[in-house]
Amino acid sequence: MVIHDETTTLFYAGGLMLGDFIEAPLVGLLVIALGLGGVALVWPAARPWLLAPLLVMFGWTNLASQKAVIAPHDLRRLIGNQSRYLTVQGVLCETPVQRLYEHDAQELWRTQAQLEVTFVRIEKENWQPAFGRMVVGTPGVLPEHFFAGQSVQVTGVLRRPKGPLAEGLFDYRTYLERLGIYYQLQVANSNDWRIVAREIVPAQPPLADRFCAWAKKTLALGLPIEDEPLRLLWTMTLGWKTALNGEIAEPFMRSGTMHIFAISGLHIALIAGILVSVLRVVQVPRMICGFIVIPLIWFYTGVTGWQASAIRSTVMMTVIIAGWSLKRPSDLLNSLAAAGFLILVWDPRQLFQASFQLSFFVVLSLALFVPVLEKFRQRLWQPDPLLPEKFRPRWHQWLGPPARFVTSGLVTSLAAWLGSMPLIAYYFHLFTPVSLVANLVVVPLSSAALASNLASVIVGGWFPACAELFNHSAWLWMWLMIRVSEWAAYLNGGCFNIAATSLITSILYYAVLIAVMSGWPTRPRLRIWIGAILAVLALLWLGQWRHDRSLVCATILPLNGGEAVFLDQPGLGNDWLIDCGNESTAGFVTKPFLRAQGVNRLGHLVLTHGDLQHVGGAEFIRENFRPREIFISPARFRSPAYRKFLQTLESASVLAKTIQRGDQVSPWTVLHPDANDKFSQADDNAIVLRAEIRGTSILLLSDLGRSGQNALIRRGNVSQSDILVAGIPHQSEALAEALLDA
């Protein structure tokens, strides 16, 4: 078996996907895999035919072994799906990471750590052995003496991680399961942590932590304050995760430049390139270069915390440098396949992680598409071969080199963008054509900033004055990167929210892309077969599109004491958002949900009543989604947030339409309140809507209280409905018996 053959990795990855789709007993898989291996061993003539199924079974079995409950003290056996108050002992897998969040205009720190559990005590029971890894979340910041390798004891509530609140929102449970983590421990505060004495206790933090602390101080030499560019430089160079909260990361996400902050191929390739160039200048032989450079890039990967993206890139670069050192022919596809195979054998669950898929699809796109696009670019810029150079226009000679440089970068950016587009749409719900231009500027700037930081780290220990110059240079490059990314993120037409791509859409997209790039239209022998395959895929996609296009979806979002209802109908501008939650939940739940549905501009926004938990985030939604129409109740509310929003609308010359009983705002009929209603409680003045959509009736009561419900019954506006959505009023029960009987 040739490990760097692309087909080897493809068959093995196919086995992993089969194992993720079909759960099978581990023992049965082992028997089949060993049986195939035995047949191949005793029957040499069958080996070429058995290689593919053997690789598939190898991948399937490997993934099943990672997911199976084997240990007798596995947490999944001890805890199950229950939530339990308990105390655990274990070893910190990594130094706890601090995250900064904003909630109700306040900055909140939260610490997250991964713990390899060794013992557990459930409530007042005795200690018992346990096996498994969990995520521990703690409000505030833990003391510095908690670091990777420490044995600790933690008390809190253990439970399974929550799934997504609605379709399209981040699935934290699945994300953790892809990392082999099935439980989350919620801790009240840092007082529930303590260090457990062991025979072997690390005397100091690991090398990665000490290096990171020293490097952060070195990279700050000469800079007056710890500001946003400096913190982002720490993130880009050292993998420091605290700086990238949602507000700071959003411009980079929407401009398609977020990848520069992952310790990935850009960093490793730049470091390897600098090292190889320096060694070759002093005439170090290729073989010796490989022996020097490979350990150094692995050292960098280690001191930056062994991040998964860094490990993947370092494995890839190790394969490439090793082949170069041995003077082997360069083949990027084989190197990519070899790196992927090694990584997936070690950790098969990485195949299902977004970062792995994006990394390898981008490199694969560069390997497949850049040569084709480069030929096209060269034909565009190729001068007339019959015209002597001295007769060419001078402006052509001046503009030639910079134009070739820019278009060469554009070719690389275009290839990476084409290869990653469906994945970015699926995981981040974004379509970012502006990234083609943004990356032309940001990637060179990031390379300059990274090179300056590396130089600062190299000279900082013995020549701090020179390190200060490098730090000022890096700060300038990062400041420019921030400005360019912010400009690109909010450029009209530069970025769009789109719904996640379906499987058939992604398959059709990549099939068409590869067919066109491989020159399929010019190959008569393959034209019919490939055309037939593409036609079948196109018909399947068309059938799914017609089905999805006709769907009407209603989604109810629970929002921490309030709720929002989103009605998505066919056509542009036909979507409805009824309430939006307070400002915090509007930012953390409603906004990501609307983006996941592909909403760029909201059709209609209804604010049922002036309750902070329902409409406190209305201005936030208006700024981000610019609803075409806003509907409000005729009642007056005392809520300061509601009144402030109405004043903002008035100052912005935006008209909010008042709707009352009897009004029709298709597809809704307004049942309550009447223009003359004067209820003392705000909940009783809530707008009540009813719609009949394709034979299904929906009744939205919002937080309507007892008095409002009685008025609704008295007027005879209540009829049987298939779907009833009701909140909880402040001073009465959600649904009165009389309303249910009606």
pLDDT at residue 6 tops 60? yes
Between residues 287 and 391, the one the model is more confident about:
287
Mean pLDDT of 634-647: 88
For the segment 508-549, what is each residue's pLDDT rounded down to a tens digit? 999 888 888 877 766 777 777 888 888 899 999 999 988 888
pLDDT at 48: 82
- The pLDDT-based confidence of 417 (bands split at 50, 70, 90) is very high
Angle value at C-alpha 392, between 388 and 398, nearest 5 degrees: 125
pLDDT score recorded for residue 570: 85
pLDDT-derived band at 738 (thresholds 50, 70, 90) equals low
Tokens of 441: 């500027």
| CA–CA distance, 600 with 532 (Å, rounded to integer) | 36
| Strand, coil or helix: 656 | strand
pLDDT computed for residue 398 by the predictor: 73
**Average pLDDT along the chain:** 87
Predicted local distance difference test score (pLDDT) of residue 2: 44
Q: What is the Cα–Cα distance from 290 to 301, expressed in whole angstroms?
A: 16
Which CATH number does 75-205 carry?
A: 2.40.50.140
Kindly list the domain boundaries of the chain, sorted by start residue: 6-67, 75-205, 503-549, 553-741
Enter the tokens of residue 643. 């009144």
Q: Comparing 75-205 with 553-741, is the CATH topology the same?
A: no
Calpha distance 51→15 (Å, rounded): 12
Q: What is the pLDDT of residues 170-199, one digit of tens each?
A: 999 999 999 999 999 999 998 999 998 766
Given a cut of 90, is residue 36 above it in pLDDT?
no
pLDDT, tens only, 418-437: 999 999 999 999 999 999 99
CB 252 within 8 A of CB 429: no
Would the pLDDT of 246 be above 60? yes
Lowest mean pLDDT among 566-570, 607-611, 673-677, 718-722: 718-722
Q: In the predicted model, what is the mean pLDDT of residues 394-406?
A: 74
Reduced to 3 states, what is the DSSP secondary structure of residue 135?
A: strand
Predicted confidence at residue 201, as pLDDT, reads 63
Query: Which residue is associated with the tokens 């912010």?
Result: 486
Share of the chain above pLDDT 90, in %: 37
Residues 6+ apart with CB under 8 A from 342: 3, 315
CATH topology of domain 553-741: Metallo-beta-lactamase; Chain A (3.60.15)
Residue 643 has pLDDT above 50, yes or no: yes
